[in-house]
């Protein structure tokens, strides 16, 4: 497959589609989920030292939310909740998944993809998965079709990374099998032991030609970068980090081209801006922040490429685009990429306290842009409190879906809110952070449940977890979450505790 990808910066970012058209009854839905992209990492959210013209043009022709929350401050639980409409903390096995985790969403479970598929949509998942594959943890045979994969979860097509770029196996999986499989290099994966004779970042630092770890990430070496976990083989199926964005974009474009006749749902999850950040040469130097900023530029290009394709296929007017991130940002997440030194005054969280992993707002407050031509008001900035948990039921209302009893228990229809037509918000959202600590956000308050966990993420990220062994209550006017007023407002604390207890009890 050869696709013209366009040079960096050469993409004319999608213009606002005509807003006076009647919205179609069954619009396409494209969900673009960035990885570790912070609230402040996009131009339209105040980023410094990097420009994001394509994302900004999407915001200019849609609604940009200032109080949207991922359900969790790390990837696996955040994605689990988004795709199933169930809070991840209701289950034990939804913590950051290893690359050889068994499939966390079970085949019989109802997903957003099932919902679209039942409504006659063509469905695709492309990019980062991080929700396990195969029947059982550690028992996958990566050299054969996996017995449980995304086809069992309602996706007609998938082209995914099993986990993250910093976790083995470093290969793409297409429709449940290793893409570009190389029979001369059978793949083995183990998260406990190395394979005899295989090099690691720990023992062979001289082989780390592309990037060195700053903490962790010193196991198998692939493409001159050491990772978490051990793998062997892969041969020509192994990815090159510098081509991940191009590869997932090309597969997404292909899917769009092949599905112009029926409505589609595409879950498009980028690797950017997760570690290891290793953007293509075309994006090097596009920011003044080194690879983290250049990865943001690469993300923007990716978005522009997809929007341009919607335009040239003539389907932009008929496509809802949602752009968001799985959790808050982190600067040093385990590779020595100088991201911290080169920030130059840029704040990835947009000044919010904490970051990825954190119970403070930096952990889960994320960019959220929605464009639905003819429906979303152009260029609106909306401070309504919204949550990823409601995407499933919101799209469900659009499709008139009959959601099976017991499925998506936490998802509520917020279609009017997320399309900028209704400023009355959910009364509260729940956020999950380090140590599975739960917080509640209302338009007025932020409450963090007491936790005995550490104050700082214990492995080198330098991020405050936001955890304290006492109730913490902040007024939302205290954007920095500096003044704990729990002692002053015991009734509010009780109210917040009752919300958490009520939600937890629903699982029992």
Q: Which residues bind ligand NG6 (CB under 6 A)?
A: 35-36, 74-75, 96, 130, 164, 166, 215-217, 228, 274-275, 327, 333-334, 459
CB closer to ligand NG6, 18 vs 455: 455
Taking CB atoms, the residue at the shortest distance from Ca ion is 75
- Judged by CB under 5 A, the stretch of 28-36, 142-150, 201-209, 432-440 that binds Ca ion is 28-36
Q: What are the tokens at 87? A: 């809070």
In the bound state with ligand NG6, the residue whose beta carbon lies nearer, of 166 and 294, is: 166
Quote the DSSP letter at residue 77: H
Pairwise CA distance, residues 340 & 382, whole Å: 31
Q: For Ca ion, which is the closer residue by CB, 100 or 327?
A: 327
Q: Identify which of residues 217 and 468 has a Cβ nearer to Ca ion in the complex.
A: 217
Name which of ligand NG6, Ca ion, none residue 364 binds, using a CB cut-off of 5 to 8 Å depending on partner kind: none
Position among 11, 36, 337, 426 found at the interface with Ca ion (CB under 5 A): 36
Q: Does 327 bind Ca ion (CB under 5 A)?
A: yes
Closest distance of CB 408 from ligand NG6, Å? 22
Cβ closest to ligand NG6, residue 127 vs residue 334: 334
Mask of contacts with Ca ion, 66-85, x by CB under 5 A? ---------x----------
Distances (CA, A) of 351 to 41, 369, 455: 11, 19, 19
Spell out the alpha helix ranges (H) of 362-413. 391-399
The tally of CA atoms less than 13 A away on the side-chain side of residue 70 is 38
**Under DSSP, is residue 426 helix (H, G, I), strand (E, B) or coil?**
coil
* Cross-strand partners of 472: 448
* Shortest reach from residue 130's CB to ligand NG6, in Å: 6
The item of ligand NG6, Ca ion, none sharing an interface with residue 489, based on CB under 5 to 8 Å by kind, is none
What is the closest distance, in whole angstroms, from the C-beta atom of residue 73 to ligand NG6 in the complex? Answer: 8
Residue 437 C-beta: closest distance to ligand NG6, Å = 16
Residue 303 C-beta: closest distance to ligand NG6, Å: 19
Q: Which positions ≥6 away from 492 have C-beta within 8 Å?
A: 445, 447, 473
Considering the rule CB under 5 A, would residue 333 count as an interface residue with Ca ion? Answer: no
Q: Tokens 């006659």 belong to which residue?
A: 120
Which residue of the chain is nearest ligand NG6 when measured via CB? 216
- Nearest distance from residue 177's CB to Ca ion, in Å? 25
- Contact, 346 vs 43, CB < 8 A? no
Note whether 61 binds Ca ion by CB under 5 A.
Answer: no
Token look-up 């600067």 returns: 331
- Across 366-391, b (16+ Cβ under 10 Å) vs e yields bbbbbbbbebbeeebebebbbbbbbb
Q: Of ligand NG6, Ca ion, none, which one sits near residue 220, judging by CB under 5 to 8 A according to partner kind?
A: none
The whole-angstrom separation of Cα 368 and Cα 384 is: 11
Three-class secondary structure of residue 200 per DSSP: strand
Tokens standing for residue 375: 């429906």
The DSSP-derived string for 461-496 is S--B----SS-EEEETT-TT-----TTT-HHHHHHH
Rule CB under 5 A: say whether 464 interacts with Ca ion. Answer: no
Q: Which is nearer to ligand NG6, 72 or 307 (CB)?
A: 72
Q: Closest approach of Cβ 11 to ligand NG6, in Å?
A: 27
What is the closest distance, in whole angstroms, from the C-beta atom of residue 272 to ligand NG6 in the complex? 12
CB nearer Ca ion, residue 75 or residue 298: 75
- Report the residue from 166, 246, 326, 332 that binds Ca ion according to the rule CB under 5 A: 326
Q: Which one of ligand NG6, Ca ion, none is in contact with 114 (Cβ closer than 5 to 8 A by kind)?
A: none
Secondary structure (DSSP) of 108-166: TS--HHHHHHHTT-EEEEEEE--S--SSSTT---TTS--SS-GGGGT-SEEEEESS-TT
Residue with smaller CB distance to ligand NG6, 52 or 432? 432
CB of 77 to ligand NG6, least distance (A): 8
Task: Confirm or reject binding of residue 41 to Ca ion (CB under 5 A).
Answer: no
Output the DSSP codes for 369-383. Answer: EEE-TTTSPTTEEE-
Tell me how far apart the alpha carbons of residues 99 and 164 are, in angstroms, rounded to a whole number: 7
- Compute how many residues bind Ca ion; rule: CB under 5 A: 5
| 8 Å CB contact between 241 and 187 | no
Question: Which DSSP category does 238 fall into?
Answer: B
Among 29, 35, 85, 291, binds Ca ion (CB under 5 A): 35
Three-state SS at 439: strand
Q: How far is the CB of 165 from ligand NG6 (least distance, A)?
A: 9
- Whether residue 252 is preceded by a cis peptide bond, meaning omega within 30 degrees of 0, is no
Contact positions vs Ca ion (CB under 5 A): 35-36, 75, 326-327
């Amino acid at each position: 497959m050869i696709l013209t990808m366009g040079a960096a910066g050469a993409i004319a970012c999608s213009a606002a589609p005509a807003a006076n058209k009647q919205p179609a009854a069954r619009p396409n839905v494209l969900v673009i989920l960035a990885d570790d992209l912070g609230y402040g990492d996009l131009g339209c959210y105040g980023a410094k030292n990097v420009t994001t013209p394509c994302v900004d043009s999407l915001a200019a022709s849609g609604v940009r939310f200032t109080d949207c929350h991922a359900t969790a401050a790390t990837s696996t639980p955040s994605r689990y909740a988004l795709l199933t409409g169930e809070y991840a903390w209701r289950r034990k096995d939804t913590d950051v998944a290893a690359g050889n985790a068994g499939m966390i969403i079970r085949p019989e479970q109802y997903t957003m993809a099932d919902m679209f598929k039942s409504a006659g949509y063509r469905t695709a998942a492309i990019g980062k998965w991080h929700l396990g594959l195969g029947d059982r943890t550690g028992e996958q045979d990566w050299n054969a079709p996996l017995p449980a994969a995304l086809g069992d979860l309602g996706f007609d097509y998938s082209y995914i990374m099993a986990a993250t770029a910093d976790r083995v196996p470093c290969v793409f999986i297409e429709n449940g099998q290793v893409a570009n499989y190389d029979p001369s290099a059978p793949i083995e994966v183990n998260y406990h032991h190395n394979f005899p004779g295989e090099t690691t970042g720990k023992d062979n630092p001289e082989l780390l030609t592309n990037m060195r770890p700053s903490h962790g990430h010193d196991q198998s070496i692939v493409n001159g970068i050491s990772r978490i976990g051990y793998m062997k083989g892969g041969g020509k199926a192994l990815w090159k980090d510098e081509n991940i964005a191009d590869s997932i974009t090309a597969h997404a474009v292909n899917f769009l081209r092949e599905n112009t006749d029926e409505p589609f749902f595409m879950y498009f999850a980028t690797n950017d801006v997760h570690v290891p950040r290793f953007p293509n040469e075309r994006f090097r130097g596009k920011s003044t922040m080194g690879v983290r900023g250049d990865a943001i530029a690469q993300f923007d290009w990716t978005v522009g490429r997809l929007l341009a394709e919607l335009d040239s296929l003539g389907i932009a007017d008929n496509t809802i685009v949602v752009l968001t991130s799985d959790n808050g940002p982190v600067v040093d997440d385990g590779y020595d990429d100088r991201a911290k030194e080169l920030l130059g005054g840029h704040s990835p969280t947009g000044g919010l306290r904490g970051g990825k992993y954190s119970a403070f707002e930096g952990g889960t407050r994320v960019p959220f842009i929605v464009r639905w031509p003819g429906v979303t008001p152009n260029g609106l900035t909306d401070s309504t409190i919204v949550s990823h948990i409601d995407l499933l039921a919101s799209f469900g209302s659009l499709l008139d879906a009959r959601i099976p009893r017991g499925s998506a228990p936490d998802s509520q229809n917020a279609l009017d809110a997320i399309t900028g037509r209704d400023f009355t918000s959910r009364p509260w959202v729940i956020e999950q952070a380090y140590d599975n600590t739960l917080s509640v956000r209302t338009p007025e308050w932020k409450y963090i449940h007491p936790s005995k966990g550490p104050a700082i993420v214990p492995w080198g990220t330098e991020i405050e977890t936001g955890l304290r062994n006492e109730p913490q209550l902040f007024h939302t006017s205290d954007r920095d979450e500096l003044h704990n007023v729990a002692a002053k407002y015991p009734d509010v604390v009780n109210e917040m505790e009752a919300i958490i207890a009520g939600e937890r009890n629903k699982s029992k």
